[in-house]
Amino acid sequence: MVNFDASTPQLKAVKEMIDAYISLDLNNLAPLLSEDYQYEAFPKSPDFPVQTKESHLQVWGKIFSPVNKLEVRI
């Protein structure tokens, strides 16, 4: 989905992560996150606490689910 030259292992990992988020399917994203993954919002805010892998996927799952069913017509 994302088109850039992923010629290094680091860029390949970034490309896979971006493609997983863009696909709007968290089943593609879960294998890419480590077991001790933590999501932190910057700047820090009490409204956005540090999230573990499971809670991050749960929150984003709620956001992605209605978007998956969105149809665009011209």
Task: Tell me the percentage of the chain whose pLDDT exceeds 90.
Answer: 1
Q: Is residue 74 part of a domain?
A: no
Q: Is residue 18 part of a domain?
A: yes
Number of separate domains in the chain: 1
The pLDDT tens digits of the residues spanning 6-37 come to: 788 888 888 888 888 888 778 888 888 888 98
Contact 15, 6 (CB under 8 A): yes
Per-residue model confidence (pLDDT) at position 45: 81
Q: Is residue 57 part of a domain?
A: yes
The residues near 14 (Cβ < 8 Å, ≥ 6 apart) are 6
Q: Is residue 62 part of a domain?
A: yes
Distance CA 65, CA 27 (A): 12
Only one residue has tokens 């030259």, namely 5
Q: Is residue 2 part of a domain?
A: no
Per-residue model confidence (pLDDT) at position 2: 57
Is the pTM here over 0.75, yes or no? no
Q: Is residue 3 part of a domain?
A: no
Contact 1, 22 (CB under 8 A): yes
Q: Is residue 73 part of a domain?
A: no
Q: Which domain does 42 fall in, by range?
A: 9-68
CA 31, 42, 60, 73: dihedral to nearest 10 degrees?
-110
